Each structure stands twice: as C-alpha cells, then as structure tokens.
Structure 1
Amino acid sequence: MKRKIFLRIGAFLVVSVMILSMLSGCISEKKETTTTPTATSPTAGEKYPTATIKLGYRLTDTTILVTETDFMKKYGIQFELVPYASGVEMRDGILAGDVVIGELGTGPVIWAMTHVTPDDLLIVGTTEQGGEKYRVVVPVDSPVKSFDDLVGKKIGIKIGSGCYTAFLRYIAAKGWTVEDFDLLNVGELEAISAMEQKSVDAVIMWEPIPAVLCSKGIARELMNFGSGEGGQNLVKICNPVYWGVSAKWAKENPDLVSRFLAGYIELCYWVYDHPDEAARIIYNTYVRRGVEVEDPEIYKLSIEHEHLYPWLPDYLAEDTKMVAGYLVQFGKADFVPDVKSFIDKSYLEKASELCGIYPPEGEK
C-alpha cells in the first residue's frame, strides 16, 4: 500500500452559528451503512480499550470525516467535541488545556512556536497540504486580467490565515509589499458579502468560498497559489495544516496519540479510493443536521484543490520555516522558530505499525 497520497476533497461552507447544533449527537448517532466505511488493514479486528479525546472541532472536511466515519472507533477512540471558529482559537484552546488535539494551519502554528516551547505544543502529523485551495477571485465583470492589476486595489482576505501567508510569499516573489494593497480583513461569510456588494476588487480565500462565489455567477477565478491548472507557478506553496497536540497530554498518552493517527492514516487512504463516497458523507452530514447547503455540484469545483495527507516529511518543516521567514520580513513574527524541534514523528511511526500503512519513500 505504499504510494504517495495527495488526496483531493473540498472543504465545505456552512454558517458558523450552526456549529453547536451540528455537534449535538455527533458521536453517538448511528450512521447509515452506506456512509460508514470499515477500514481493513493487518490489524483489522484488534480490540482497543475505549478512550475519549477532547478534539477541537472546526467545520472542515477533515474533522467531519474523522468524526463521521468508523476509523477512529476501530482504535477505541471516541470524541468530546469542542467547537472553534478558526485555527487561531483552536491553538489557544490546546495551549489552555481545553482540548488536546486539533487542526492548526501555518499561521497559528508559527505564532505558537514563537511564544511557547515544545513542552507546551507538539506537531504529530499533517492533515492536508497544498496551495491550490487558496484561490484569487474577482467580480465576473471585472477588467482585472492578472494579479498585477490588483496593485493598489482592495482585497478581501483573512489576515493571519494560510491564504494570507500564501499571499505574502507571492507578493514577496513579485517584489511588492503589503502596503501596495488595500487589505480588508474578512472571514468566510464576510468575503461572500463583500463580493456580492462589490465592495472589494478581489477575494483571496480557501475552498470552498471561491467555488461558491463562482457558482453564484458573481465571481471568476483569476489564479490560485498552487502549481496545477490556474496556479501561479512562481513559488511552491505547501502551507500544511498540522495535527497539533498538547505536549503534556501526548507524553502521558503516547499510545492514544498513535491510535488516533492510525485511524487518520486509514481514513486518508480510504478517501483516496472513495472520493465520491467521502463527499457524500460530508454533504449528508449537513442535510442530516438540517443545515442548508449549496448545490452539491459546487463542491465538485473545490475537490481538486485540497490534499488530505497524514505524513511529516522534512520538506513540510522547511516550508513552514520559510513561511516564518516571510512573516518576519513583513513584521508579522519576531523571529524564525526552530520548527523541527516542535515535530515529533515517533507517534506517527507507531501509528504506521498499528495500521500497517507506511509513508512512501521521500515522505518520511
């Protein structure tokens, strides 16, 4: 089963105020057999003692699939879910001990690495990576033909986010500074509203916001920060999202961390082989919770722009270090941290032994 996985499935937009209602019954609810895959591996059927993990919950494809499939149950893991609006708040929740594990993007991770030590926070795995999910869209009737035309224009973007660091890397390569643009700090719903009202000249946001805007017929893609079709090909942008954990909890519960990661590795490979089924799980989750969602066709537009990925190769640490350098250059960080000192691969190595799936050559 050794093969490199760059798993493609889009994140899904929902109204943030619905988070708590969606969490109700999320763990105990019996799932339909058509959307509850059973993982198979050399350890299939092995029994593990049941344990509850306090998981930081965001409405991302990763978290929904982790909590809405049975891969974690196979390893005896159930969850107490604590909702957060973004990785910034989730990072603070981990550091405060309110949760023990959660998804953290490069921005929140770098801030933590410059304010705390590896005795407080550890990186034990990756959830996804890739710059294609960050897309630049402009009004459908805009005269803008390239990013160069946006110099001096108003751009809606979430400052401090992964798309913001991708933006910084891009403009640095082009020889521009932040002062060359009029940035408006917006969240997901604010970005949609700004584009609808034409109060911005462009929006830079993660999927599926660009897909939603384009599907509404009010925006078109200008470019993305990846290397594929529509990518700017100027700098390679990985911008990984990591599994961040409380260092104290991880050291006290190493087996539990590895069991969690084993479940996630199996989930990633299952999604790779069953992307349509994975998309249906997420879509059905929203429908089952009574949350209004856009036409499922919208999400097909974003599937190609996100890569689920569990491993911790050294090049991701170097990429994060590079991002930190840009943040220092633009006055957004005080120094470049020792990224590798916060990464502990031992939990992931043990997880591979548990599930029988190992990283491809060059991805260790």
Structure 2
Amino acid sequence: MKNNSNLRRKLLTLLAFTPLFALPAHAQKAGDTVRIGYQKSSTLITVLKTRGTLEQRLGALGVKVTWHEFASGLPLLEALNVGAIDVSADVADTVPVFAQAAGAQLTYIAQESPSPSAQAIVVKADSNIKTLADLRGKRVGFAKAAGAHYLLIAALEKAGLSLKDIQLAYLAPADGRAAFEREAIDAWVIWDPFLAAVQRQSQVRVLTDGRGLADYQRYYLSSTPFAKARPDVVKVIVEALQETGKWVKQSPKDAATLLAPVWGLDVPTVEQANARRSYEVRAVLPERLGEQQKIADAFLAEGLLPKKVNATAVPVF
C-alpha cells in the first residue's frame, strides 16, 4: 500500500497537471450519484452532457449525474482511483498505462477504435524542419502522458532518434498553442480538436500524423468498485456512448453545430476534427490491447514509468 502511494506521488509530480477545480474528497453513497469526469476534448461525453441524455436515462434508475472537468487525462484517472469520481470519459491510450504504474484500481468499460490521423506533429509552414530527422536538437512541445507523447516517441524512433535527442517542452494544449504561435517551440505534437484549430487558424504543415506509428485508441473507464456495484449504470452509459458515436458520424454538421459553442470553435473546425475520429465505441477485448503493452514498454524504456507494467492486466466490463 505504501509503495503504491509512493508511486502515485512520483507520477503526479512527474506530470504536474491539476484539475480545473477541486473535487469533493468524500465518497458518496454508491449508486445514488454517478460522478463523471471529462476533458474539453471528450466529444461524446460532451454531447451527452449538453443534451442531458444521461440525466434522463439514469434518472429512471434513481441515479443523479454530476460533471467534473479536468485539464488532462492523468489527474482525471487519479480522481477515479481515489474515489472522487466514478466514471471517466475517454482518455488517450497512454493514460491508463501511467495510472496502472501508480497502482490505480480501474476497469475498462469501452474503447474507441483507432483514430491515428487525429493527432499529429505540426511545424510552421515555413519551418526548415522537413523530416522527422530534422527534429534533432529542436524544441518540441507536447502534453506529458498524452497520446501525443507516445506518437512523438514512435516518430523519433522511426527516424533513429529518441527523446534525448530533442529539447522537451511539457505543455498542456492551451499553453502549447501559445508557445507554438510565438515560436517558443519548433514543433508541436497535438490532437483534435486542437489540431484542427491550429490547421485552420495558422499556417502550419503536418510533419507526420499517427498513421503507421500510433493507433490512438481512446478508453472509457470506471473505478473498479463502482463498476462492480452498479453495472446497470455502466451499461446505460456505454450504450449511450455507442449511440452518440454513430450520431456524430452520421450527422457531422449537426454534431459540429452542437459542439462548436461548447468548445469555443467554429463549426467547420469541429467538423474537420470529428472527421478524423472514429467514434466507434466498442467492448474492450484482450486481443485489442496489444498496443497498450507497446506504449508501456516504450515509456519504461524512456525512464518515464517507475516500474514495468502488464498493460493487459486490467479488468474489463
């Protein structure tokens, strides 16, 4: 128990991210309320929240819904592990690996099928960086532990480089965009909808996206105690996510119109971003967790995980 606590402290210090606001420390009575954590880029959960879908469906089960926004994925899963929230919206495939290394007790409840082109390494259109090898010695901005982090590792490896060959700038999306615009960084590794926004609003060039490098599968999780106590609630949430994912792909203009004011983006930017995400919500199967182990091994090799992780040894719903 003490070792798990030490690992968790080290991991949180490593990432240095905080939620947008403090969450209540006390645990509520299991089942009375489902507390859902999400990020700004949590598309399907944002649609459900905006429409009030889960309030309606879970209200029939006598369950209240509360919403808790986070700036990034790892503190979201840390909140899940300590009982501050019950269900997590989608996080990048890298995030559960870090949470596992910290001893988190989490259950996969669903995954989105791969969306490799929804994240990319971008440079200014007039940059002298033409190939991945040109990143040597350059200052590259990205969010630590995000899918972008693994994309960068995989891209550098393809070019015969490692993280030690570049200057690292750990930046959350908003800070990364600001640094990129003022040329404080030479390249930026980012995901949608932030990727679509910078492509439409600035003169940029995609050095590479995730195709052939990183599948970028996003995962929905629950705390293991909540998944065991209220599988009926989890089932309703997963079914709503599946329906919403189909709606976003079948009605791209309507979905973009709904999301644009929530995200503070224009409709065409949201539509471009959504076109690159699969939004196919499916069950998590052991044979679909292979890349999770690759991610875990890559981070371990870079000295970013405190111990070796069996990335497939996670309960599934």
Cα offset, 1:298, TM superposition: 2.4
Supply the AA of the counterpart residue of 2:139: K
| Aligned residue in 1 for 2:278 | 307
| Aligned residue in 2 for 1:145 | 130
Contact 2:133 2:161 in 1 (8 A): no
Question: In 2, Cα distance between the equivalents of 1:218 and 1:241?
Answer: 28
Question: In 2, Cα distance between the equivalents of 1:80 and 1:146?
Answer: 46
Matched, 1:116 2:103: yes
| Aligned residue in 2 for 1:257 | 234
**Identical positions, percent:** 17
Contact 1:125 1:242 in 2 (8 A): yes
Question: In 1, Cα distance between the equivalents of 2:162 and 2:201?
Answer: 32
Supply the AA of the counterpart residue of 1:166: L
Moved over 6 A (4+): none
Cα offset, 1:109, TM superposition: 0.6
Question: In 2, Cα distance between the equivalents of 1:329 and 1:262?
Answer: 38
| Aligned residue in 2 for 1:106 | 93
| Aligned residue in 2 for 1:64 | 46
| Aligned residue in 2 for 1:181 | 166
Q: Normalising to structure 2: TM-score of the pair?
A: 0.81
Matched, 1:324 2:296: yes
- SS of residue matched to 2:289: helix
Contact 1:196 1:218 in 2 (8 A): no
Question: In 1, Cα distance between the equivalents of 2:316 and 2:265?
Answer: 39
Aligned length: 282
Structure of greater Rg: 1
Change (3 A) 1:212 1:267: closer
The one of 335, 339, 342 equivalent to 2:311 is 339
Cα deviation per residue 1:116-152 (whole Å; 9 max; x = unaligned)? 26xx211111146422111111112212222222221
Q: Normalising to structure 1: TM-score of the pair?
A: 0.71
Supply the AA of the counterpart residue of 2:158: A
- SS of residue matched to 2:117: coil
Cα deviation per residue 1:159-213 (whole Å; 9 max; x = unaligned)? 2211101211222233311111111111112112112211221111111223222
Cα offset, 1:155, TM superposition: 1.0
Question: In 1, Cα distance between the equivalents of 2:162 and 2:192?
Answer: 25
| Aligned residue in 1 for 2:187 | 202
Matched, 1:193 2:170: no
Question: In 2, Cα distance between the equivalents of 1:195 and 1:171?
Answer: 19
- SS of residue matched to 1:143: coil
Contact 2:133 2:160 in 1 (8 A): no
Cα offset, 1:221, TM superposition: 2.1
Matches within 5 A, 1:212-223: 212-223=197-208
- SS of residue matched to 1:307: coil
Matched, 1:276 2:253: yes
| RMSD (Å), alpha carbons | 2.3
Contact 1:133 1:306 in 2 (8 A): yes
Supply the AA of the counterpart residue of 1:176: L
Supply the AA of the counterpart residue of 2:94: G
The one of 156, 159, 165 equivalent to 2:141 is 156
Contact 1:156 1:203 in 2 (8 A): yes
With CA pairs under 8 Å and 6+ residues apart, which has the higher RCO, 1 or 2?
1
The one of 70, 85, 98 equivalent to 2:71 is 85
Contact 1:156 1:185 in 2 (8 A): yes
Cα offset, 1:277, TM superposition: 1.3
| Aligned residue in 2 for 1:40 | none
